[in-house]
Copies of this chain bind each other. A is one copy, B any other.
Amino acid sequence: MTTSATPSRRLTARGEERRAQIIEFATARFAADGYHATSVADIVNGLGVGKGVFYWYFDSKEQLFLEILKDAQRDLRRTQQRATAGVDDPIRRIALGVRAGVVWTVGHGELRRLVDFARTEATFAAAVRAGQRVLTRDAMAQLQEAMDTGRIPVGDGRALASGLLGVTTTMTDALVEEGRVDAGTIADLVTDFCLRGIGADPV
C-alpha cells in the first residue's frame, strides 16, 4: 500500500515485495535507534542484500523516510475515518475517532516515534505539520458540528482539537510505556479525559 513509487520505475511483483520489505525493516530500525543512528548500510546488511538494492528502490534515505512518514499519517487517518464512518452523532464520532487513534497508536508505537523525530528536523518538519493539520482539521469539523448542535459548549475549535490530539498521544504513550498493553482500557481512559475536556458528558 505504498505511495508513488519514487525512482519512477515499474516494479515487478517481486520488486514490490522487496520494496515493502525495505520499508518495514527501515521503519523498525528508525524507530528503535533513531533516523540518524540507522545507516543505509545497517538497513541493507540487516536485510542481507547489497547496497545497490536500496538505491534501486529509493532515491535517498531521506526520501524513504518521508515515504514512511506519509504512509503512517495516511494510515492513521484512514483508520479513524473507517471507525467513524456512518455514525451520526458528532460526540460518538469524536469518541470513536479518539478510540481509533489510541488503538492505532498502541499498535504502531514505532511510527509515533518517527513522527516525533521528524518534527525536530528542519528537513521533515514541514511534512509533519502538513499531516498534523489534516488530522486537526478532521477533528475540528466534528467539534464544530458538536458545538452547532449544542452537544458541547461553544469554544475554540482549534484548541480543543489539539487537546484531543495531545491527550491521545501522550496518555497512550505514557500508559504503554508503563506496561499497560490493553488497548481497550487505555482507550477508555483517554476517551473519558477527552470527552470531559471538550465539555461533553462521558458516555
For the complex, what is the distance from the CA of A119 to the CA of B170, rounded to whole Å? 12
Residue of B nearest to A200 (CB): B196
- Tell me which residues across on chain B come within 8 A of A116, comparing CB atoms: 116-117, 119-120
Question: Are the C-beta atoms of B196 and A32 separated by less than 8 Å?
Answer: no
- A interface size (C-beta, 8 A): 48
| Bound complex: CA A49 to CA B192 (Å) | 54
A163-202 interface with B by 8 A CB criterion: 163, 165-171, 173-175, 177-178, 186, 189-190, 192-194, 196-199
Asked if A145 is an interface residue, CB under 8 A from chain B, the answer is no
Tell me the complex Cα distance, A57–B132, Å. Answer: 39
CA–CA, A121 to B161, complex, Å? 28
CB-CB under 8 A for A189 and B32, given A165-B174, A197-B197? no
| A49 and B32 alpha carbons, distance in the complex (Å) | 35
Q: Which residues of B contact A122 (CB under 8 A)?
A: 32-34, 37
**A170, B37: Cα distance in complex, Å:** 26
| 12 pairs from A and B in contact (CB 8 Å cutoff) | A32-B122, A113-B119, A117-B117, A129-B177, A136-B174, A158-B174, A162-B170, A162-B173, A163-B189, A166-B168, A166-B174, A167-B170
